[in-house]
């Protein structure tokens, strides 16, 4: 099984709203949609911070200030595209700040355009009240520490799934 190191970005605007994107696996177009943080694969030779900055710019068009890595998670993702293979995702979640505003999708790949169909800023209260699937699992419980600026020096392990 292929291993895919990834960076997930807890991108916050000045009002402490978190950017989440909505999508579904192209290999399962009839599956329910889910929300997730922006981010993606870490390229060979790239640091987590470099990947976070690149991914944020590609997926949002926004300049960001990268903060600390706060969480780690890993799990197997089903094939993203039909005929693909499952991959072991090893995720590092970093905090990032930006000025907020409208997103630019010009940097999206063809796969991202098929995978993602919405993006918006969420308050903690909206995340807590939502009945939709949001990744990482338990985000409503985990996010208050980040918003308060409380995090350990090393990223803490969080569950991939319930």
Beta carbons of 160 and 135 less than 8 angstroms apart: no
pLDDT category of residue 11 using cuts at 50, 70 and 90: very high
Rg of the chain (C-alpha set): 15
Distances (CA, A) of 113 to 97, 108, 109, 143: 24, 6, 6, 27
pLDDT at 158 over 70: yes
Domain ranges of the chain: 2-157
10 versus 79: the higher-pLDDT residue is 10
Q: In Å, how far from its chain's centre is CA 66?
A: 14
pLDDT at 18 over 90: yes
Say what the pLDDT of residue 162 is.
65
Residue 97's φ and ψ, nearest 5 degrees, are -120, 150
Q: Are strands 156-157 and 65-77 parallel, antiparallel or unpaired?
A: parallel
22-36, 103-117, 133-147: least confidently modelled range: 103-117
pLDDT at 28 over 80: no
pLDDT at 116 over 90: no
Find tokens 């995978």 and name the residue.
Answer: 115
Say what the pLDDT of residue 80 is.
76
What b/e string do you get for 40-68 counting C-beta neighbours within 10 Å, with b at 16 or more? bebeeebebbebbbbbbebbbebebebbb
- 109, with CB counted inside 10 A (0-12, 13-18, 19+), is exposed
pLDDT at 108 over 80: no
Pick the CATH number of 2-157 from 3.40.50.1100, 3.10.129.10, 3.90.79.10, 3.40.50.1010: 3.90.79.10
Say what the pLDDT of residue 105 is.
79
In angstroms, rounded to a whole number, what is the distance separating the alpha carbons of residues 40 and 93? 11
pLDDT at 136 over 90: yes
103 versus 4: the higher-pLDDT residue is 4
Three-state SS for 93-147 is EEEEECCCCCCCCCCCCHHHHHHEEEEEEECHHHHHHCCCCECCCCHHHHHHHHH
């Amino acid at each position: 099984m292929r291993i895919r190191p990834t960076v997930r970005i807890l991108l916050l605007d000045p009002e402490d709203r978190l950017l989440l994107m909505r999508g579904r696996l192209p290999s399962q177009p009839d599956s329910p949609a889910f929300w997730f943080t922006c981010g993606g694969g870490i390229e060979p030779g790239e640091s987590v911070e470099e990947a976070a900055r690149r991914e944020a710019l590609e997926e949002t068009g926004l300049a960001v200030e990268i903060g600390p890595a706060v969480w780690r998670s890993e799990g197997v993702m089903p094939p993203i595209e039909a005929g693909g293979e499952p991959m072991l995702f090893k995720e590092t979640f970093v905090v990032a700040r930006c000025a907020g505003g409208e997103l630019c999708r010009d940097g999206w790949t063809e796969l991202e355009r098929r995978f993602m169909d919405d993006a918006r800023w969420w308050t903690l209260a909206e995340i807590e009240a939502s009945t939709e699937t949001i990744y990482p699992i338990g985000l409503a419980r985990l996010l208050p520490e980040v918003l308060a600026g409380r995090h350990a020096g090393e990223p803490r392990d969080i569950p991939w799934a319930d």
